[in-house]
A and B are shown apart, each in its own frame.
Chain A
Amino acid sequence: MSEEIVRAEGLKKTFTLSKKQQKIEKTGETRRVAVNGLSFSAYRGEIYGLLGPNGAGKTTTLRMLSTLIRPDAGDAFLCGHSVVKEPAKVRDEIGFMTSELKLEGFFTPDYLFDFFGAMHGVEKSTLQRRKRELFEKFGIDKFAEVQVKNLSTGMLQKVSLVISIVHDPSVVIFDEPTNGLDVLTAKVVTDFLSELKAMGKSVLLSTHIFSLVEKLCDRVGIIFDGKMVAEGPLDEIAKGDLEKSFFDLYYGIKGEMV
């Protein structure tokens, strides 16, 4: 087995529900466990998919791994660095892409690439070389001086992708990478993920789209209600039909819970 790049150990995260949220969800509970003792490992050069329904805890898990939020319990190690104790080191090892993170519309792709390169401490000549290569590869070079607010959705997604890997990270984390994208842009993203894998990067993605997991992932973890219910190589989990395996698990557990 190849080198372990990501290791999550008993990650737990609980959120306090505001009065407004309680009212919307018609619940009396004041706290909600979003992730409950999640453990898994991802290896160099593979794509790992976190699969689960909405509200299962996928995004919360990825946010903990990208150090945006701290786990209440447990820890995770990315390239050997703890997300709890060494968040800055983890941030230099990861590229995180989610719809939650935006680029300022006033600036151009060229400016933002340089800016985020500086934010990750990338050396100037390396930065210029990477910019040339990545902009050419994704067809951004023609739009390098166009303000981000004037770019099409597809081009904006490409720019976001490129900027998330400006520092050549070892681990790339994507939260729902194809959500809300048209077929052409979605293809650009999925092709990009495959290329990252080919480049020896580790990719962690969250999704609820079975076909995306089947097409891209080497290993998969299925999450229900913040708990990892199945984890392993795609073939072992899917058993020929990922969707069927997923729902077998889902109804089986829901039945147990009821």
Chain B
Amino acid sequence: MKLLALIKKEFHRFFHDPRLIVTMLLPGIVIFLLYTIMGEAIHAEPQKYDYKVYVQGEAPSVTSMIEMAVEESGNTVEWLPLEDMDAAKKQVEEGEATAILTFTENFEELPENSAVSVVYDPMDEAGSGFYALSTALLEQIGMRFSILSEPLVSEEGLGREIMQQILPFIIVCFVFSACMSITLESVAGEKERGTLSTILVTSAKRSHIALGKIVPLACISMLGALSSFLGVVLSMPKLMGLSVGMLGGYGFGTYVLLFLLILSFVPLIVALISTISTAARSVKEASAYTSVLMIFVMVISLVTAFVPVIGDWAVAIPVLNAVVFMQELLAGAVPVWQSLVSVGANLLYTAALVFVMTKMLSSEKIMFGK
């Protein structure tokens, strides 16, 4: 009953204050608009390219037609003889060469099974531009041969790679900023203004007061994080020049585990900031401590960028466990037990922090010390 009243009070405070709602949802909207506009600007601008294309096999009339078409579009092309396929592919991957054209034997005589393959990097704008132009031309010729496109990275794989590398970090950033914006005000702010003491004079249990902060603030933070998350997910394809569908393609189980990881991670961050805010004497002091915590959390969430292989022991490390297993999920793996243990560990840490906050609320030195 008392816990419910405390939870309802926090929700009332948030949902009856339009400014707080706007503050919470605005980052997601701004991110979406900003990234979309940036993406439009980047991809709308016409560019001139000097294509460097490796050629294997003889097809002089085809290559000269491609050359004419390339020059008509205001670009140039340099044909390079192919000596080592692997080395050439590596150059394409690194952006030093544009593409590799491979013609089957006696291509221009058009025997049966004649074909041309195009190796290119769809992430490279020059490569995808050359691919589009050359394949359109070859299709226009309309003779009996097949075109084999060989993108070095599949578009779906590309989308996944972006998701896998960037999204866990972005989620951590947005969850943290969403939690910080409301928790500091709600806990340290109430303590500083003396309104928390008014609640301490009632017979409500200290554990209920702690939970009465952490539970609703975690729910509200989740909304804020979701807004930012959607802002990123929906605008990222525009920014990267990809289609929205490429970022999907995950199974239901993956989404459930992802959701559970985020669900366990949000209350943990809220509990951490709430505990710090309870210990601090003012919002200013709490902000200073939380900034240090934020740097710490960011570093942990970036560890995976520098340490390629992290073992299952990561389940025990808060924040890191969420990042590692979110990355694995987004990479297509389904680390079920690791994700579930991580969720359990995060909830356990949250419970421990609720206990610490309860003790702090009972401590006169912390609550009333000058």
Contact = CB atoms under 8 A, between A and B. Distances in A.
Contacts of B364: 68-70
A89 B203 contact: yes
B195 A103 contact: yes
B2 A101 contact: no
A107 B9 CA distance: 9
A201 B233 CA distance: 62
A102 B5 contact: no
A111 B11 CA distance: 13
Contacts, number: 67
Interface stretch (A46-54, A117-125, A227-235): A117-125
B193 A102 contact: yes
A190 B155 CA distance: 78
Contacts of A91: 201-203
Interface string B1-22: 1101110010011001100000
A94 B2 CA distance: 18
B259 interface: no
Q: What band does the interface of chain B fall in when counting residues whose beta carbon is under 8 Å from A?
A: 20 to 34
A120 B198 contact: no
Contact of A119 (B5, B12, B193, B368): B5
A18 B193 contact: no
A103 B370 contact: no
B203 A115 contact: no
Interface string B168-206: 000000000000000000000010011101111111110
Contacts of A18: 370
A121 B17 contact: no
B201 A102 contact: no
Given A100-B197, A106-B17, A120 B202 contact: yes
Interface in A52-90: 63, 66-70, 88-89
A115 B17 contact: no
B205 A88 contact: yes
Interface residues of A, number: 28
Contacts of B201: 66-68, 91, 94, 96, 101
A101 B202 contact: no
A52 B309 CA distance: 69
Nearest to A93: B203
A104 interface: yes
B199 A119 contact: yes
A81 to B, nearest CB: 11
Contacts of A102: 193-195, 197-198
A94 B197 CA distance: 15
Contacts of B204: 119
A68 B200 contact: yes
Contacts of B197: 68, 100-102
A103 B1 contact: no
A92 B4 CA distance: 18
A116 interface: yes
A101 B198 contact: yes
Contact of A120 (B16, B195, B203): B203
Contact of A68 (B4, B195, B368): B368
Contact of B194 (A101, A111, A118, A121): A101
B24 to A, nearest CB: 16
A12 to B, nearest CB: 14
A104 B193 contact: yes
Contacts of B13: 104, 106-107
Nearest to A111: B12
Nearest to A87: B203
A150 to B, nearest CB: 14
Nearest to B202: A119
A120 B201 CA distance: 10
A94 B202 CA distance: 9
Interface of A: 18, 21, 63, 66-70, 88-89, 91-92, 94, 96, 100-104, 106-107, 111, 115-116, 118-121
21 contacts: A21-B370, A63-B368, A66-B201, A68-B197, A68-B364, A69-B364, A69-B368, A91-B203, A92-B203, A101-B194, A102-B193, A102-B194, A103-B198, A104-B190, A107-B12, A107-B13, A118-B4, A118-B5, A119-B199, A119-B202, A121-B203
The 3 closest A-B CB pairs, nearest first, are A118-B5, A119-B202, A102-B194
Given A88-B205, A102-B198, A104-B193, 11 more contacts: A69-B364, A91-B203, A94-B201, A102-B194, A104-B195, A106-B13, A107-B13, A111-B12, A119-B199, A119-B203, A119-B204
